[in-house]
Structure 1
Amino acid sequence: MLETTTTSRTGTRIDIRNVSKHYAGATAVEDVDLTIEPGEFLTLLGPSGSGKTTTLNLIAGFTDLSSGHIEIDGERVDNIPSHRRGLGVVFQHYALFPHMNVEDNIAFPLRQRKTPKAEQKRQVAEVLETVGLGGYGQRFPSELSGGQQQRVAFARAMVFEPRALLMDEPLGALDKNLREKLQLEIKRIHQEVGRTFVFVTHDQEEALVLSDRIAIFNNGRVEQVGPSDELYEQPRTLFVATFMGESTVLRGDPQWQGKEWTLGFHGASVRGVAEPFAGPAALVLRPEDIQLAHREEEIPAGRQYCPVTVKQNIYLGSGRKFELELADGTVGIVRGSLAQGAGLEVGDPAFAFWHPERGSLLPDTGTQSAT
C-alpha cells in the first residue's frame, strides 16, 4: 500500500562512501562521500558534466563503481544489480510504452513482481490519485500532455513502493510554467509519501524550491552540502557562491591582522572579519545586500562602499535590477524595491554600499561570477 501521510518518514538511508568513477582517460566522479537521510529530499545540483547524473546512476546500479562503496539501509549494494535494489527511477524522457494505456504503463513494475491482479488494480488507482490523474487510466500516452506523461512516469516509479525515488532532470523537457507547477506537485507528493527522493538538476531555482538539502557538484566532486539558505548565505567556496544565484565579486589581495582583513581593489578599500587563509581573495556580495546612492555623502555611517557606473536599469514590476560596472571592469548586480536607485539612469556614476557584516570573503580560485 502506498502510504500517504504528512508526518511519516518511511524512506531509506543511502550512504555513498568515497565513491569514484573513472572512464578511459577521464574522471566522472572523484571521492564523493555523502549521506542521504530517510525521507529526505536531496538534490544533486551542478553544471553539465559535474558528476551529478553519474552519481545517481551509481546509486541506481546502472553504472559500476571504480572505487568506494554504496549502502542502502546499511547493506552494501555494490554487487547487487539495479533491479534488485528496490529503487524507483524517473528520467527526463518519460519512456512510456506507447501501445499501453496509463493503467497498464503504471502496472508494469507490479506485473514484473507478479503482484496479484486485484492488488495491481488497487495500487494503480491509488497512485493515480496521488499524482492527480484519477480518471485517466484508460488513456494512451499519445492522448496526454507532456506534464501528464511525466506524472504517469512518476506514478509508475512509485507504485511498487520503492525504497527511494531517483529522478534525473525529470522536468527538463517542459516549458517554464508547467515546470514550475510540477515542481510544487513533486514537493507535495514527497511530503505525502514521506519517502527518500534524490533529484538531479542543473537549475538552481528548481533545487531551491524542492530540496531539504542540496549537494553542489563541480568537476566530479561535491563542493558543499547543506540546506538552501546555508549554501546561499554561507558558501564555503567561490564556485558555490557564484553558482548559487547572482552575485558581485570583488577581488584583491587581503591584508590580515588576526581575523581582521582589509581588501583593496580599484577605487575602494573594504574591511571585515573571517578565518585567515593564504593567497588572493574574493568578496562575494548578494544583489539584495547592496544599495545605491547618488553621492558619497548619502551613504549611511559604517557602511562599506565603492564607486560604480550604472550599465543597466531593469524594471521587474515589483522591483528593479541594476547592472553596474566597477572601476576595474567588474560587473555588479543590485536588486531591490522600485525606490532603489530612484533617478539613476544608464551611464550615471553612483556608489554601491553594503553593511560590513554582509558578504563572504573566500579564497579566489579564479571562478568567474555567475551573474
Structure 2
Amino acid sequence: MSSATDIVPESTGTAGAGTRIKINGVSKRYTGATALDSIDLTVEPGEFLTLLGPSGSGKTTLLNLIAGFTDLSEGTIEIDGEEVNNIPSHRRGLGVVFQQYALFPHMSVADNVGFPLKQRKVAKAERMDRVAEALRTVGLGGYESRFPSELSGGQQQRVAFARAMVFNPRALLMDEPLGALDKNLREKLQLEIKRIHQEVGRTFVFVTHDQEEALVLSDRIAIFNNGHIEQVGTSQELYERPATLFVATFMGESTVFRGAPAWQGDNWSLDFHGAQLTGRRAPFSGPAALVLRPESIKLAHDPAAVPDAHLRCPVTVTQSIYLGSGKKYELGLPDGSTGIARGGIVDGAGIQAGDRVLAHWDPERGALLPDTGEESIT
C-alpha cells in the first residue's frame, strides 16, 4: 500500500482551469479479445465528456486506463501534456467515483470525505473546513457526524462525490455512478452533477450506457461500439447528424428505410417498396439507410393534407400510446419493419391503431447513411 508521501498532492490549478486528457492510439488486448482498438480522443480542459455505449463496448476499459487501474497494450495517455503510461494511479491526481460507493462503514461522513486530505497530510483544521465545504457543495452540509449506514443510497453517492473532489483533483472520472439508484433519484442527481461541474469547473469524464443521461449531462459524447469510437460530438450533433447507422439507432428512437439508392449528381433517390424517397446528401456506394427521428414524421389519412414538398410512405398504425403531452405511434412499414412517430394530441387527432395512413416528412429532416447492417440493440 502506498504511503501518504507517495500520493500526488492536490491540484494547484484554479477552479475553471480544467485539465486536458489526450488519448493517442490506445489499445487494450486481453488473451483472445480486444477491448479497445487504437482509440484517439481528447478531453478538453473543463469539459464534461461522456463515454457512452452498450455493455462491453470499451468505455469502462478506457476510464480504467485513464485512471491507471489497468495497463494499456499500445498508445499513450497524456494529462496536461505529461505522458502518464508508467505513472501509478495514486500519482495521477485524479478523483474517481464508482457505482459502488466504497465508503468506509466504520468512519463518519466527515472522516470518509477527509480521508484523501489526511493521506496528503493536510492539517486538521484546514481538513475540517474543506470537508464542510465539499459537503455543502453536494448538498450534505450538517451530515458530518453521520455514518454510511444512516444514509440513503443517494446520500452515500453524494458523499462519494465529495470525497473524490475534496482534494481538488485534476479531473473527476465517474463510472456509472448513478446506476444503482431509482429513476427519480437518478434524475435528481444528474442535475446535481451538472450543477457541481459548472460550479467547480474541473474536467469530468463520465461513463454510462444510458442515452438520456448522457444527453442531460454532457458537453460532448463519445459513442463506443465494439472497442471503437463511432462518433464524438455534442448531444445535438449526434442526435440530428449521426455519422453511422449505429449512432443513429443508439441515440434515441428512429425509423429506418432501407434500399439501394440511385445517384444523380448530388441527388439520390430510393425506391422503398413503391415509395419514392429522394434527397440531397453526399453520395457513397452500396446499400443505404434513411433514418428519421420520431418527431420528424407526421401522419395523415388524407393525401391532400400532405405538403407537396414532403416525402411520403404508406404505413399501418400498429399501436397508439398516450403520453400525456402527446402521442407515440408504432408504425408497420411496407418491408415488415417497425417505425416510430411522435406528435402532439392535436397532430394525431383521429388516428388509431389499425389505421392505414401516410407517414410524411420534410426531406431535410432525414439522414442518409451507409447501411452496414449494424444497428444498435437497446
- The bucket for the TM-score relative to the shorter chain is over 0.9
Listed as ranges, the gaps of 5+ residues in structure 2 are: 1-9
Which structure 1 residue ranges, 5 or more long, are not aligned? none
C-alpha distance in 2 between matches for 1:96 and 1:199: 20
Distance 1:123 1:221, change over 3 A: same
Match in the other structure for 1:258:
265
Matched residue, 1:327:
334
C-alpha separation between the residues in 2 aligned to 1:368 and 1:160? Answer: 43
1:31 shift after superposition: 0.8
Does residue 1:140 correspond to 2:159, yes or no? no
The amino acid of 1:363's aligned partner reads P
The change in CA–CA distance for 1:228 and 1:336 in structure 2 (over 3 A counts) is same
Could you tell me whether the CA contact under 8 Å between 2:11 and 2:170 is conserved in 1? no
Q: Which residue of 1 aligns with 2:281?
A: 274
**Could you say which residue in structure 2 is the equivalent of 1:62?**
69
Task: Determine if contact 2:250/2:375 at 8 Å carries over to the other structure.
Answer: no
Counterpart contact for 1:302–1:355, Cα < 8 Å: yes
Say if 1:19 and 1:30, in contact at 8 Å, map to a contact too. Answer: yes
Q: What TM-score do you get using the length of structure 1 for normalisation?
A: 0.97
The reply on whether 1:42 has 2:36 as its aligned counterpart is: no
Equivalent pair of 1:2/1:126 in contact (CA under 8 Å)? no
C-alpha displacement at 1:369, in angstroms?
6.3
Secondary structure of residue in 2 paired with 1:309: strand
- Asked if 1:73 is matched to 2:80, the reply is yes
TM superposition shift of 1:84? 0.2
Q: Deviations over 1:119-144 (max 9, x none)?
A: 11111011011011000000000000
| Equivalent residue for 1:87, pick from 91, 94, 118 | 94
The Cα of 1:2 is off from its aligned counterpart by: 9.8
Residues 307-364 of structure 1 deviation map (CA, whole Å, 9 limit, x = unaligned): 0000000000010100000111121100110012211111110000000111100000
Partner of 1:31: 38
Tell me the CA shift for residue 297 of structure 1.
Answer: 2.4
Asked if the contact 1:17–1:33 (Cα under 8 Å) also holds between the matched residues in 2, the reply is yes
Amino acid at match of 1:249: V
Residue among 143, 154, 165 paired with 1:158: 165
Query: Aligned pairs, how many?
Result: 369
Identity %: 74
CA distance in 2, matches of 1:68, 1:86: 21
Which residue pairs with 1:175 in the alignment?
Answer: 182
Name the CA distance, whole Å, in 2 between partners of 1:85 and 1:361: 43
Match of 2:25 among 11, 18, 23: 18
Could you tell me which of 220, 226, 233 is aligned with 2:227? Answer: 220
Match of 2:107 in 1: 100
Instruction: Give secondary structure in 2 for the equivalent of 1:230.
Output: helix
Summarize deviations over 1:159-210 as a string: whole Å, max 9, x none.
Answer: 0100000000000000000000000000000000000000000000000000
Cα distance between partner residues in 1 of 2:16 and 2:372 = 40
The whole-number CA distance in structure 1 between the counterparts of 2:268 and 2:38 is 33
Shift of 1:295: 2.4
Describe the superposition over 1:73-120 as per-residue Cα deviations: whole angstroms up to 9, x where unpaired.
000000000000000000000000000010000011111111111111
- Measured after TM superposition, the shift of residue 367 of structure 1 is 2.3
User: Where does residue 122 of structure 2 map in the other structure?
Assistant: 115
Contact 1:2 1:193 in 2 (8 A): no
* Superposition misfits of 4+ residues, deviation over 6 angstroms: none
The equivalent residue for 1:293 is: 300
Select which of 229, 232, 242 maps to 2:239.
232
Residues 1:189 and 2:196 are matched in the alignment = yes
- TM-score, normalised relative to structure 2: 0.95
Question: Could you tell me which of 311, 314, 335 is aligned with 1:304?
Answer: 311
Letter in 2 for 1:265: F
Q: Which moved more, 1:334-343 or 1:54-63?
A: 334-343
- 1:360-371 correspondence runs (5 A): 360-368=367-375
User: Partners of 1:347 and 1:71 in 2: how far apart?
Assistant: 58
Corresponding letter in the other structure for 1:161: N
SS at match of 1:114: coil
What CA deviation, in whole Å up to 9, does each residue of 1:4-34 have, x standing for no partner? x9xx522110000010000000000111100
Instruction: Identify the residue that residue 6 of structure 2 maps to in structure 1.
Output: none
Deviation per CA, 1:224-280: give whole Å up to 9, x if none: 001100000011000000000000000000000112100111131100011111100
2:59 to 40, 44, 52: 52
Conserved? CA contact 1:247–1:369, under 8 Å: no
In 1, Cα distance between equivalents of 2:216 and 2:376: 22
What is the DSSP-based 3-state SS (H/G/I as helix, E as strand, rest coil) of the residue aligned with 2:144? coil
Cα distance in 2 between the residues matched to 1:296 and 1:58: 56
| Structure-2 separation of matches of 1:32 and 1:370 | 23
